[in-house]
Amino acid sequence: MNKKPLTLPVKLGYGLAETGITAVQLFTQIYLLKFYTDIVGLMPSLAGIALAISVLWDAVSDPLMGNISDRTNSKWGRRRPYILVGGIFLSLSILMLFSPPSLNTQAGKFAYLLFSYLLVNTAMTVISVPHIALGGELTFERDARTAIFGWRLFFSNVGMLIGMIVPAAILQSLGDENSKANIQSSRLQAGEVVSGVILISSMITFWATKGRDENSKSNLPNFAFFSSLKSVLSNRVFIPLLLAFVIATIGRTFNSAIALYYYEYRLGLKESEVVMNILLPFFLILMLSIGFWVWLSKKFGKKKPAFFGIFGLGLLTVIAYPLFPYGKLHPPLIVAVFGGIFAGSILIMDSILTDVVDYDEWKTGQKREGLYFGVWKMGVKFSQAVGIGLSGFLLDFIGFDPSSTSQSSEVGFRLAMIFGPGVGFFFILGSLIFLTFPLTDAKHMSIQKILLKRKGISQ
């Protein structure tokens, strides 16, 4: 089937939903654990368990959602209906998550966090898996796919900025950043902003991709989910890519969950200082680096740039973060600039996954984008569950006291070791595993030629 040429409005419209999706993800990754330990008063280990269970459910539901969208046949397409419904569901559940009632017991606080975060992650599954799968179907051309996922990453970084800056900016505007009442109010107001962003962005994506969502009858047998899942997980090309990404994502989760603890209790910096002077430059540089990584992947192929980007990020993290002096902004700012450049290489991983889907179609004759992207998201969520759960237990293990506004120097040093070598280890290990990825660019291009012939499309 011939695809209509992709226009810029379609690319932008497709990528825009990622703004809301990522705003929710970063808002929760950075602020949620600290909010429930420091403000709600939940023990760090219990908070970690609740978050891990919720994310594990999200992980299990991702391939199910991918399989459902693969088999959907509606007048709106296979993927678009879930983008709209999931956006509405997610906008409501994020409001609930950051507006807990007054609860006096650890069991009550644990139950509320578990229930509300389960709702958030269910909604996230409904919207995010069909959305990422749709990106792999908009075009068959290799470089165009890289560009599409480049736009997706661009809007993802816009969402990162919203999820990261809005809570800190609101808190700063309220005055005393150590006031628990101000922190609680800022999180509620930020939740309202993020809720609006996900609702509007998902609706625009639903509208902009009209007519671009394949609605062909599924060629998958009705009973095939578990056999298809087994086939996906035994794909020798897919497994090294998935394993590398999962391990690296554990490191990313450690980084996000521990960041505010590290900067406040190790370096003595206020939340607004960290967000505006360290995290903001990091994400701005990351956004600006996207074009650079797209150019590298065109010139040198996808594998080498992805490896060196992730490995460089790991090495930088291991070396730099334990060495920063107390109360100084400039050293972590400099590292944030270089870290942002290295982190931009992550877009190549999503683009490589679309190549793996082509490989699977060549081998099996079946189009299973949704299932592959569902398993991909499942792996990411599994690693996030591991990272979040361990973060909560590690905070208890190193002696962190959530009832205290200050921590001992020993606790600060231990936070630095988690945030530096602990995070960097996973980046480095993930990059080394990625070196075993066997699908070359030349092999993929030959596969695409075969697939084009099968579909009767001339190049």
What is the DSSP code string of 140-164? --HHHHHHHHHHHHHHHHHHHHHHH
pLDDT category of residue 25 using cuts at 50, 70 and 90: confident
The answer to the question of residue 3 being in a domain is: no
Rounded Cα distance, 59 and 204, in Å: 26
Rounded Cα distance, 44 and 391, in Å: 8
Mean pLDDT of 296-313: 89
Query: How remote is the C-alpha of 373 from its chain's centroid?
Result: 13
Rounded Cα distance, 14 and 148, in Å: 8
Task: Name, in order, each residue with C-beta under 8 angstroms of 59's C-beta and a sequence gap of 6 or more.
Answer: 377, 378, 379, 380, 381, 382, 384, 385
The answer to the question of residue 245 being in a domain is: yes
* CATH number of the domain encompassing residue 128: 1.20.1250.20
Residue 357's closest CA among 448, 246, 259, 454? 448
User: What is the pLDDT at residue 193?
Assistant: 96
Q: How many domains does the chain have?
A: 1
The answer to the question of residue 214 being in a domain is: no
Task: Pick 65 or 5 by higher pLDDT.
Answer: 65
Task: Kindly list the distances between the CA atom of residue 284 and the CA atoms of 237, 340, 344, 346, in Å, as whole numbers in the listed order.
Answer: 33, 8, 10, 15
**Angle separating helix axes 180-208 and 80-97, nearest 10 degrees:** 170
DSSP code at position 322: G
The answer to the question of residue 217 being in a domain is: no
The answer to the question of residue 374 being in a domain is: yes
Task: Summarize pLDDT for 127-166 with one digit per residue, the tens.
Answer: 988 888 787 777 766 667 677 777 887 888 789 889 988 9
Q: Are 121 and 62 in contact (CB under 8 A)?
A: no
pLDDT category of residue 228 using cuts at 50, 70 and 90: low
The answer to the question of residue 459 being in a domain is: no
Q: Are 338 and 316 in contact (CB under 8 A)?
A: yes
Max mean pLDDT among 146-150, 203-207, 343-347 falls in: 203-207
pLDDT surpasses 80 at 293:
yes
Task: Summarize pLDDT for 27-66 with one digit per residue, the tens.
Answer: 998 889 889 988 998 998 899 899 888 888 877 787 788 7
Q: Which residue has the tokens 């569950």?
A: 385
pLDDT category of residue 216 using cuts at 50, 70 and 90: low
Neighbour count for residue 97 (Cβ, 10 Å): 24
Q: Are 32 and 120 in contact (CB under 8 A)?
A: no
Mean pLDDT of 309-324: 93
Mean pLDDT of 291-315: 88
The answer to the question of residue 18 being in a domain is: yes
The answer to the question of residue 1 being in a domain is: no
For the chain, how many residues are written? 459
Task: Summarize pLDDT for 355-411 with one digit per residue, the tens.
Answer: 888 888 888 887 777 678 778 877 877 887 888 888 888 888 888 887 777 788 888
Q: 269: phi > 0 → left, psi -120 to 50 → alpha, else beta; which?
A: beta
Domain housing 433 = 10-209+224-454
